[in-house]
Amino acid sequence: MVVKITLKQVREQRGLSQNKLAQSAGMTLQNLQKIEYGQAKSLTLQALDKLCATLNCQPGDLLQYQAGQNSPCVDRIEGEKN
């Protein structure tokens, strides 16, 4: 199971730069970039709430379930089992 983060698309639709969104959501630019590029190890509910409040959207606008796909981590773990 993979959940794709569509933060970049929503941010661009709102006409916000990464800097402006990071400042408005009370997070560092580096953390925002990690989330946006899919490099964050996790996304807390608090961070998701701040992003949604700043972007005036719902969590479902930022998260997209991708059925039938595994994350690279899951694929690697399953490969080690065999």
- Domains plus CATH for the chain? 2-81 (1.10.260.40)
pTM of the shown model: 0.77
3-26 as b/e: b if 16+ CB within 10 A? eebbbeebbeeeebebeebbeebe
Question: What average pLDDT is seen over the chain?
Answer: 86
73 band by pLDDT with thresholds 50, 70 and 90: very low
Instruction: Please give the pLDDT value at position 75.
Output: 46
